[in-house]
Amino acid sequence: MNKLFFSSWVNLLHINSNLIKFVMQERKSKRMVVRSYFIFFLGAVLFLSSCSTKKKVLGSNAHSSNGSVLTDASSARGKNFSGSRLDNYADLMSVSAKKLNPQLYSFIDDWMGIPHRMGGQTKSGVDCSGFVNLLYIEVYKGNLPRTSRDMEGIVKRKKVDKLEEGDLVFFSFGRNGIDHVGVYLHNNKFVHVSTRKGVIISDLSDSWYAKTFVDAGSPKI
């Protein structure tokens, strides 16, 4: 009788021990599942936030989507552009924002910093005449010749002090005549595609552009 009772008691303890182990394993498994979900959720949040940060950084450096202005004009050195996009462009050129064509500067802002690529006409790379062509189609609804030299052949020539926003400015960087074109903005500033810096705003008064400047005028379109 005692042996039977003792044996039953041992078996019961064994069953209880296994049951406890099972319950503990279940609890541990659930904790692991919960922990896995938490780690996954945390990882997803960090990933999304890192993508967001990356987009902001790219926007800041490649384009002016954060309101910055890309320029190599000597008159802009040390300037801090902290206003709205249009106000920043107005500040760079020392004019009232009311004098600016919002559609023009929206286009410039969208292309700012796009790299130079000979023969290119996309945001993976664009050359000077390709950029001017796209700008005129988008902003002024007009078509221009494909090359800077041919563009120069259809302009009504103007002196620099008579230039207006949207006029074309031409340069000769080599020995074969006109080989570069940009779009005049205000107060000697113009937008163009630099071979080293991409789409950028420069100043006709700066020495490099002053000595290579050839002609300017309004295109007949």
Phi-psi domain of 170 (left: phi exceeds 0; alpha: psi -120 through 50; beta: other): beta
Angle at 142 between CA 178 and CA 190, to 5 degrees: 50
- CA-nearest of 181, 179, 187, 218 to 204 is 187
- Catalytic residue annotation: 128, 180, 192
Phi-psi domain of 29 (left: phi exceeds 0; alpha: psi -120 through 50; beta: other): alpha
